[in-house]
Amino acid sequence: MVEKTKAKKKTKKAEPKEKKLSTQEVTETILDLARTGTPSVKIGHILKEEHGILNVKELTGKRITQILRENNLAPKLPADLNALIQKAASIRKHVATHKIDLEARYGLMLTESKIRSLAKYYKREKVLPVDWKYVAAERVA
In the chain, what percentage of residues exceed pLDDT 90?
Answer: 69
- Threshold 0.75, pTM exceeds: no
What are 3-53's pLDDT values in tens digits?
A: 666 666 666 665 555 557 788 999 999 999 999 989 999 999 999 999 899
pLDDT of residue 22: 84
The domain over range 79-139 is classified in CATH as 1.10.287.10: yes
Which residue, among 14, 13, 45, has the nearest Cα to 30 in the 3D structure? 45
pLDDT of residue 105: 95
Whether 125 has a pLDDT exceeding 90, the answer reads yes
Mean pLDDT confidence for 56-85: 92
> How far apart are the C-alpha atoms of 73 and 89, rounded to whole Å?
25
Query: Where does 1-141 have alpha helices with state H?
Result: 23-35, 40-51, 56-60, 64-70, 79-97, 102-124, 136-139
